[in-house]
Amino acid sequence: MKKLIQFSFAIFLILTLIGCNQEQTLQEYFVEKQASDNFISLDIPSSILSLKANASEESKKAMASIKKVNLVLYKIKKEDQKEFLMEKDQIKKILKGKKFSELMRMKKENMNIQLTYIGGEDFIDELVVFASNDETGLLVARVLGDHMKPEDLSTLVKDIEKIDTGSPVFSELKELVK
């Protein structure tokens, strides 16, 4: 009888855990989209990310704390407007989850940009950059690092034009977006 109760409790616990976690995670979204022909997926190691010489010290500290960047890019096609809106809504839903805190929002060159993060007030474990434009598409980037500080990352995002985009990876990315 004791084993039956333990077994019943274990089944109940498993079903409860499965039932509570029906929301898609950002990691699951990335894995799903990496296999899709409609998305471009890139993993960028920190070793190829660099700043121009005139970048601020805060931006340099933020860049040094980054380990890698994973991104998925959806380039909109005229016939895919409905799919684009569904993808955009799906990402927004994921980023509204309990795990994410909003760092900032901004608009630059017709691009809506939202920065959210996972972590505490002192250090960020993961920064998510979600950028969308209803005419060109969307991009989701996961910035992973060690001891990333929110204030330094905010400065880096504001100084985004100081990132050295002369590397071959950025040239390829520009070609993909065209």
Each residue of 10-69: pLDDT tens digit? 455 465 555 555 678 999 999 999 888 889 888 888 777 777 777 777 777 778 888 888
| Torsion angles phi and psi, residue 162, rounded to 5 | -90, 0
% pLDDT > 70, the chain: 75
Distance in angstroms (rounded) separating the CA atoms of residues 106 and 114: 7
* 13 within some domain: no
The reply to whether 118 falls in a domain is yes
Q: Is residue 141 part of a domain?
A: yes
Phi and psi torsions of 36, nearest 5° = -90, 140
Domain annotation covers residue 98? yes
Query: Is 111 a residue whose pLDDT tops 60?
Result: yes
- What is the total count of domains within the chain? 1
The answer as to whether 16 is a domain residue is no
11 within some domain: no
Give the pLDDT of residue 55.
76
Binned at pLDDT 50, 70 and 90, residue 154 comes out as confident
Query: Using 50, 70 and 90 to split pLDDT, how confident is the model at 163?
Result: low
Task: Give the pLDDT confidence score for residue 14 in this predicted structure.
Answer: 60
Q: Does residue 4 lie in a domain region?
A: no
* Distance, CA of 11 to CA of 33 (rounded, Å): 32
Residue 138 in this model has a pLDDT that exceeds 90? yes
Q: Please give the share of the chain, as a percent, with pLDDT higher than 90.
A: 22
**Average pLDDT for 112-133:** 89
Range of the domain at 80: 24-177
